[in-house]
Chains A and B, each alone.
Chain A
Amino acid sequence: MSAAPGRVVAGLLTAGGRAVTFRFDGRIFQGLEGDTLASALLASGERLIGRSFKYHRPRGIITAGPEEPCALVDVMTASGREPNQLATTLLLHEGLEAVSQNRWPSLAFDIRAALDRLSRFLPAGFYYKTFMSPGWAWERLYEPLIRRAAGLGVLAPVVGAHAEAAETLHEHTDVLIVGAGAAGLAAAAVLGASGLRVLLAEQDAALGGGTLLDARWQAWRERRRAGLVRVPGVRCLERTTVLGAYGHGVFAALEVLGAAERAAFGGLRERLHVIRAQRVLLATGAIERLIAFPGNDVPGVMLAGAALAYLRRYGVAVGRRPVFFINNDEAYEALFALAAAGITAAGVADVRPASHAAQRARELGVDVLCGARVTAVRGRGALRAVQVVTGEGGQREFAADCLLISGGFTPAAALATQLGSPLAWQESIAAFVPELAGAVGRVAGAARGVFGLAAAAREGALAGQAIAAELRGREVAAAAAAAAEAEDAGLPADAMATPMSPLWEVSGRGRAFVDLQNDVTSADVRLAHREGYEHVEHMKRFTTHTMATDQGRIGGLLGSAVLAEARGVPLSEVGQVKARPYVQPVPFAALAGGEVREHYKPKRRVALHDWHERAGATFVPTGLWLRPLVYARASSWEAVLGEARSVRRAVGITDVSTLGKIDVRGKDAARFLDFVYANTFSSLPIGRARYGIMLREDGMVFDDGTTSRLGPEHFLVTTTTANSTAVLEHLEFQLQANCRELDVLLTDVCDQWAQFAVAGPRARAVLSAVVGGRELSNAAFPFMAAGEATIAGVAGRLFRISFSGELAYELAVPASEAERIWLAVLEAGTPCGISPYGLDALNTLRIEKGHVTGAELNGNTSAADLGFARMLKPQGDFVGRVLSQRPALEAADRLQLVGVRPAVRTRRLRNGMQLVAPEAPTASLGYITSSTPSVELEGWVGLALLAGGRARIGTRLTGTSPLHDERLEVEIVSPHMLDPENTRVRA
């Protein structure tokens, strides 16, 4: 177990924390509760954390937060190896096991590091011009090599183990504040006091932002936090990153649960908050940037602000002999803090000629070189010395164990950019600054380029006041602001700061990186420019600059600056790569929430689902429905044909409750149906049903089904299962958009009625025992009759319609009575040999009969194609009328519905088989849509869509399935293969 030599003082987040044991690359370490993996490793003196993507260079920790490009590790969990976790935000917990990435066989000795020595042959975009000969070599040789080298971490899920669930919470608030630093906390106080609902999202584990790094602000911060807790409308979400802004006030935020809460919620790791807010306040702060200089990636080089954070938050000194390379006064805070902890900087290279902070540092006895820059570092796996050129051109070398750098601060503008904010160049901070339209929200504090905690707090309060004035009125806002101000009397003053001076790159021997994760150097950016990739988005695509997991947060602007210099134009003209969601990489699990696996889509179950299950049915998912396919463990033709046979020979019962059912009422109901159906319904007598087809406006068949007239102004429309939702919406649309003058009421009654088909020669005998108040003879209740009936004592409906081609009835009963009535029919049918049948048997029956389903109603078939041309009413308007009459839709070679039988009856058909003429075996004439072994006819029967099909009836073609190496001769027959005279249905 390693000691923790780097822990020099008590840290804000780790003070009093228990010891926590963890492993990194198999070695055992100890940290404190509150540590991140990075702070614990730094405390233990570890510097080398990973290897870079392309050159496999040793890399350490460069930041203390989510902007980290280098310190990525894989973490071993119960469900497998999770790649690319940021050591800088990964909270330490007992037993954590982390593994370094992109090295083999070990982190210290990585064979691919030899790539680094080849780097001058592997510049950005090298692959576009190389790896091309011989012609086969890219795919078989080079690409596999490149692919093996690709990626950083390893995703190795444990097969069968599923990741912990995540959940989605829907939030409604008046104001979303992003960032709980000085600006965010101050704004929350004003908004909360105004009576507005406020959601304050902070990505850090603790509220406070920059105030956490300045002891003078502790009292203010505690007062604010305590104050917010007391306001009922204010909620603070810690460890919550707002990932993206989606317009209309909608934001997505990812909350990572802390250990205690995680345990309390059954292992839940994350919550996705979908937030709807009237206004947003972006108080996201600013991100310290890198400077490009030779060796700026050596472990031990770190942003100055990160060193300050490790000291304040975790009590960890990142080195004993730091050297600074900085261009702004804010970065000196690390120097002062380290000095207070007893660690004196070995030297400072400040690029400016003089500064207030430099003066203060000198007073502490630090060797500050002004007008200086770092030109090189010594050390490879770890920093040993820093070479500095002074303003006068002198050379100095400082022995050092870390180099703390700061190239200035860039406002975190990703969310603002997503909201459409323009970015304005601000010379004083050498960065782009966002602004939001008032109706969307405000930007405050460092996010707007206003640095200094007191300035940020004042900005935040003003922004809060402005928003409160818009939403609650000026007086309320002013009162709230006054109250907050009274409480804030005596904010610690911001130190007088000398303006920063931009410095992007120090040229010299050796590589200067602008993107540390993707190994993009300033030379790569210049190469992109030389090759003609001048636009920043082209440079990005050519070099991969900013395309890594950190999205170029600390180095993005550097790449633009190098490009600007190469182009000889101002940086403001070059701009920066556009930020896209997500602000932080987000696990699939978190975005998916609970709607995964069996909950991926809701399951619709028919009222009788449990009975079907008990009867041993195999279910098939059709859309959202689960439908009984066959009453057997698995579907086999034997089982299916057994069910179908009992329908043909005796009687069967099937559950057709999934068909869409739409109740149509009103004095214009018949007129409306005449408009939406291609055939006529106004002439339908009460108590009768009629088969109908609906067209789309382009003339193709949309859906079919039977519609019954239950009263003068009352119809019941049935639709196919697949189209039930679409037909309802279509009817509602047509009624409200095109038939507004009609008095019609549409009601979806699909779930209210269970519906069963009882079919077979003995159907009447069975139903006579169940149906009361109706005589079922042909005279009293003929084919296509419909009406009210009492079924097993329950008021229901009876329809004499048939999909199977047999004598058949459909009964509709209230869903709540479904099982009782189903059982009553089964009992009545037992003497007749009744058998339930599933979807497969239904399919067999309808194919024999030549009835169409979705396989034939495929959206490209017209009424004429399906043989329904005569159903179209000759007069009057209806949906699809005009375009169905286009000449091309009546062309003789259109695909038309036919029946197909194997010429040799023992051969089998196959759905998807193509039909060709023997003399032109590669020219498809059509294809088989549905097929089945027949119950009543010998061998297989099928339906097909065939070019000029009706004219080919009686001829023979070849059925071919090259995919299965099958060919056979088929007879083209009428689709109505069984009982074309309809004697059975009228029996």
Chain B
Amino acid sequence: MLRIHCPWCGTRDESEFRYRGDAGRVRPAHEAGLASFSAHVYERANPRGWHLEWWLHVAGCRQLLKVLRHTQSHEIRWVGRAEEPAPLPEDCAP
């Protein structure tokens, strides 16, 4: 079971959060066109390793958090606010 350290609320069980997927993806401007949007919506780096991801603290502050988590060990290395730049490790997929 994941324990996520919310910067606003403290360390909480995963059941308090809702996963919202890969936070490395940036929504293209709508002028970017179909190919960019299609890649944004459908393609995932899906690394076996460090993964920057969104978690929404629905049973707490309802803030969107960025979490840097390893998808094999589940180790969490960093949790930040939505707008914070994440300290990405070398081996983190772009």
- CB distance B30 to A877 under 8 Å? yes
Residues of B within 8 A of A827 (CB): none
Known contacts A248-B3, A249-B3; A883 and B64 CB within 8 A of each other: no
| From A698, A737, A877, contact of B29 by CB (8 A) | A877
Smallest beta-carbon distance B20→chain A, Å: 5
In this complex, the member of A248, A420, A698, A876 whose beta carbon has the largest number of chain B beta carbons within 10 angstroms is A248
Q: Is B9 an interface residue (CB 8 A)?
A: no
Q: Is A733 an interface residue (CB 8 A)?
A: yes
Residues in B3-21 with C-beta less than 8 Å from chain A: 3, 13, 18, 20
User: How far is A736 from B61 in the complex, measured between Cα atoms in Å?
Assistant: 13
- CB distance B58 to A729 under 8 Å? yes
- CB distance B30 to A698 under 8 Å? no
Residues of A within 8 A of B13 (CB): 276
| From A246, A732, A877, A885, contact of B56 by CB (8 A) | A732
| From A276, A876, A883, contact of B38 by CB (8 A) | A883
- CB distance A732 to B83 under 8 Å? no
- CB distance A733 to B20 under 8 Å? yes
Q: Is B93 an interface residue (CB 8 A)?
A: no
Q: Is A774 an interface residue (CB 8 A)?
A: no
For B33, give the chain A residue with the smallest CB separation.
Answer: A882
User: How far is A249 from B3 in the complex, measured between Cα atoms in Å?
Assistant: 8
Smallest beta-carbon distance A170→chain B, Å: 9
Smallest beta-carbon distance A581→chain B, Å: 12
Residues of A within 8 A of B82 (CB): 736-737, 740
User: How far is A250 from B1 in the complex, measured between Cα atoms in Å?
Assistant: 6
Q: Is A110 an interface residue (CB 8 A)?
A: no
Residues of B within 8 A of A627 (CB): none
- CB distance A737 to B34 under 8 Å? no
Residues in A689-709 with C-beta less than 8 Å from chain B: 697-698
- CB distance B64 to A732 under 8 Å? yes
Residues of B within 8 A of A732 (CB): 56, 62, 64
- CB distance B3 to A250 under 8 Å? yes
Known contacts A276-B3, A883-B34; A737 and B74 CB within 8 A of each other: no
Q: Is B88 an interface residue (CB 8 A)?
A: no
Q: Is A538 an interface residue (CB 8 A)?
A: no
Residues in A198-256 with C-beta less than 8 Å from chain B: 246-250
Query: What are 15 inter-chain pairs, A to B, with CB distance below 8 A?
Result: A247-B1, A248-B74, A697-B27, A698-B42, A729-B56, A733-B20, A733-B56, A733-B64, A737-B23, A737-B27, A737-B64, A738-B27, A740-B83, A882-B33, A882-B37
User: How far is A736 from B83 in the complex, measured between Cα atoms in Å?
Assistant: 8
- CB distance A246 to B1 under 8 Å? yes
Interface residues of B, count at CB 8 A: 29
User: How far is A881 from B27 in the complex, measured between Cα atoms in Å?
Assistant: 12
3 A-B pairs with the lowest CB-CB distances in the bound complex, closest first = A736-B64, A877-B30, A882-B37
Smallest beta-carbon distance A744→chain B, Å: 13
Smallest beta-carbon distance B29→chain A, Å: 7
Hey, what's the 0/1 contact readout for B58-85 against A, CB within 8 Å counting as 1? 1000111000000001101000001100
User: How far is A698 from B34 in the complex, measured between Cα atoms in Å?
Assistant: 11
Residues in A845-885 with C-beta less than 8 Å from chain B: 876-878, 881-883, 885
Residues of B within 8 A of A877 (CB): 29-30
Q: Is A580 an interface residue (CB 8 A)?
A: no
User: How far is A698 from B40 in the complex, measured between Cα atoms in Å?
Assistant: 10
Given A697-B40, A737-B20, output 6 extra A-B contacts at Cβ < 8 Å: A248-B1, A249-B3, A697-B27, A738-B27, A740-B82, A883-B37
- CB distance B73 to A420 under 8 Å? yes
User: How far is A729 from B3 in the complex, measured between Cα atoms in Å?
Assistant: 21
Smallest beta-carbon distance B58→chain A, Å: 6
Smallest beta-carbon distance B40→chain A, Å: 8
Residues of A within 8 A of B54 (CB): 733, 737
Smallest beta-carbon distance A807→chain B, Å: 38
Known contacts A732-B64, A877-B29; A697 and B73 CB within 8 A of each other: no
User: How far is A247 from B75 in the complex, measured between Cα atoms in Å?
Assistant: 8
Hey, what's the 0/1 contact readout for A721-756 against B, CB within 8 Å counting as 1? 000000001001100111010000000000000000
- CB distance B63 to A736 under 8 Å? yes
Residues of B within 8 A of A667 (CB): none
For A747, give the chain B residue with the smallest CB separation.
Answer: B62
- CB distance A881 to B1 under 8 Å? no
For B3, give the chain A residue with the smallest CB separation.
Answer: A248
Smallest beta-carbon distance A695→chain B, Å: 12
In this complex, the member of B23, B30, B37, B76 whose beta carbon has the largest number of chain A beta carbons within 10 angstroms is B37
User: How far is A698 from B39 in the complex, measured between Cα atoms in Å?
Assistant: 11
Q: Is A27 an interface residue (CB 8 A)?
A: no
For B40, give the chain A residue with the smallest CB separation.
Answer: A697
For B57, give the chain A residue with the smallest CB separation.
Answer: A732
User: How far is A733 from B30 in the complex, measured between Cα atoms in Å?
Assistant: 18
User: How far is A147 from B16 in the complex, measured between Cα atoms in Å?
Assistant: 43
For A274, give the chain B residue with the smallest CB separation.
Answer: B1
Residues in A263-277 with C-beta less than 8 Å from chain B: 274, 276
Smallest beta-carbon distance A609→chain B, Å: 24
User: How far is A247 from B76 in the complex, measured between Cα atoms in Å?
Assistant: 11
User: How far is A737 from B23 in the complex, measured between Cα atoms in Å?
Assistant: 9
User: How far is A246 from B14 in the complex, measured between Cα atoms in Å?
Assistant: 12
Q: Is A886 an interface residue (CB 8 A)?
A: yes
Smallest beta-carbon distance A362→chain B, Å: 54
User: How far is A855 from B27 in the complex, measured between Cα atoms in Å?
Assistant: 30
User: How far is A581 from B34 in the complex, measured between Cα atoms in Å?
Assistant: 47
Smallest beta-carbon distance B62→chain A, Å: 6
- CB distance A697 to B62 under 8 Å? no
User: How far is A247 from B72 in the complex, measured between Cα atoms in Å?
Assistant: 11
Residues of A within 8 A of B30 (CB): 876-878, 881-882
Smallest beta-carbon distance B28→chain A, Å: 8
User: How far is A877 from B2 in the complex, measured between Cα atoms in Å?
Assistant: 36
- CB distance A886 to B34 under 8 Å? yes
For B34, give the chain A residue with the smallest CB separation.
Answer: A882
- CB distance A729 to B18 under 8 Å? yes
Residues in A647-704 with C-beta less than 8 Å from chain B: 697-698
Residues of A within 8 A of B42 (CB): 698
In this complex, the member of B33, B40, B64 whose beta carbon has the largest number of chain A beta carbons within 10 angstroms is B64
Smallest beta-carbon distance A747→chain B, Å: 10
- CB distance B27 to A247 under 8 Å? no
For B81, give the chain A residue with the smallest CB separation.
Answer: A736
| From B2, B33, B34, B58, contact of A247 by CB (8 A) | B2
- CB distance A248 to B2 under 8 Å? yes
User: How far is A953 from B37 in the complex, measured between Cα atoms in Å?
Assistant: 35
Residues of B within 8 A of A733 (CB): 20, 54, 56, 64
Smallest beta-carbon distance B71→chain A, Å: 12
Smallest beta-carbon distance B41→chain A, Å: 5
Smallest beta-carbon distance A529→chain B, Å: 32
User: How far is A127 from B27 in the complex, measured between Cα atoms in Å?
Assistant: 56
User: How far is A871 from B3 in the complex, measured between Cα atoms in Å?
Assistant: 44
Residues of B within 8 A of A881 (CB): 30
Hey, what's the 0/1 contact readout for B33-53 against A, CB within 8 Å counting as 1? 110011011100000000000
Smallest beta-carbon distance A279→chain B, Å: 14
Residues of A within 8 A of B37 (CB): 697, 882-883
- CB distance B38 to A247 under 8 Å? no
User: How far is A878 from B64 in the complex, measured between Cα atoms in Å?
Assistant: 20
Residues of A within 8 A of B40 (CB): 697
- CB distance A883 to B41 under 8 Å? yes
For B18, give the chain A residue with the smallest CB separation.
Answer: A729
User: How far is A876 from B40 in the complex, measured between Cα atoms in Å?
Assistant: 19
Residues of A within 8 A of B20 (CB): 729, 733, 737
User: How far is A698 from B42 in the complex, measured between Cα atoms in Å?
Assistant: 9
User: How far is A204 from B32 in the complex, measured between Cα atoms in Å?
Assistant: 65
User: How far is A878 from B1 in the complex, measured between Cα atoms in Å?
Assistant: 36
For B30, give the chain A residue with the smallest CB separation.
Answer: A877
Residues of A within 8 A of B73 (CB): 247, 420
| From B41, B63, B83, contact of A697 by CB (8 A) | B41
User: How far is A736 from B66 in the complex, measured between Cα atoms in Å?
Assistant: 11
Residues of B within 8 A of A248 (CB): 1-3, 74, 76
User: How far is A729 from B58 in the complex, measured between Cα atoms in Å?
Assistant: 8
For B32, give the chain A residue with the smallest CB separation.
Answer: A882
User: How far is A248 from B73 in the complex, measured between Cα atoms in Å?
Assistant: 10
Residues of B within 8 A of A729 (CB): 18, 20, 56, 58
